[in-house]
Chains A and B, each alone.
Chain A
Amino acid sequence: QITLKESGPTLVKATQTLTLTCTFSGFSLNTSAVGVGWIRQPPGKALEWLAIIYWDDDKRYSPSLKTRLTITKDTSKNQVVLTMTNMDPVDTGTYYCAHTWMTYFDYWGQGTLVTVSS
């Protein structure tokens, strides 16, 4: 049974760095073709693809946010960490992590709401 759970601060101030942790179980990030991605959703708006890290440490980032994002994995802890620098109120939203097999996200965490205050 695959599960993922996001954790991190619920409130950050503008210009600060956000660090979110995705803790998962039921799969290994050492398995070929497996990855973990991050997706966010501003209140009342659409999903936005942020970043993904694969079993072989290949990393992809949204070009519009690439300079602000870093994704890393700790396979021994079954965790993936996303950092986003220079936070702004427009970054407010629910942040999801999800398991990916090849190209699709088949298991999602419950999401964590992050509010950025000015």
Chain B
Amino acid sequence: QSVLTQPPSVSGAPGQRVTISCTGSSSNIGAGYDVNWYQQLPGTAPKLLIYDYNNRPSGVPDRFSGSKSGTSASLAITGLRAEDEADYYCQSYDSSLSESGVFGGGTKLTVL
């Protein structure tokens, strides 16, 4: 059971907008630790998608965006495409865990 809670699955039709939530607490997201998001395509290593809440690495389309509110963060994907079907993970740090890192439980995105 991760300290960062994500929905196990979300789905959407091509072209639609979906959001994936990452719910934490006052010792991680609420404490101001950065939230990062990763995309993992089947059989591959994770790829950094969003860092420091809402920054995109070079090469990541602006269809992907991140946000934060209180003790939660969200990843939004607009203009959904078939190739977006993957597992998505949020990641942060936690002061109650000696400032070690934590990942969310992951969310499987299905493009209908």
Contact = CB atoms under 8 A, between A and B. Distances in A.
Interface of A: 37, 39, 46-49, 52, 60-63, 96, 102-106, 108-111
B18 interface: no
B46 A104 contact: no
A104 B45 contact: no
Contact of B48 (A37, A63, A105, A109): A105
Nearest to A106: B48
Contact of B45 (A49, A52, A63, A110): A110
A52 B100 CA distance: 8
Interface in B1-46: 2, 33-34, 36, 38, 40, 45-46
Contacts of A111: 45
Interface of B: 2, 33-34, 36, 38, 40, 45-48, 51-52, 57, 89, 91-93, 97-106
22 contacts: A37-B101, A46-B2, A46-B105, A47-B89, A52-B100, A62-B101, A63-B97, A63-B100, A96-B45, A103-B33, A103-B51, A103-B93, A104-B51, A104-B52, A105-B46, A106-B48, A106-B51, A108-B45, A108-B46, A108-B47, A109-B45, A111-B45
Q: Which of A49, A62, A63 is the most central at the interface, judged by chain B CB atoms within 10 Å of its CB?
A: A49
A110 to B, nearest CB: 6
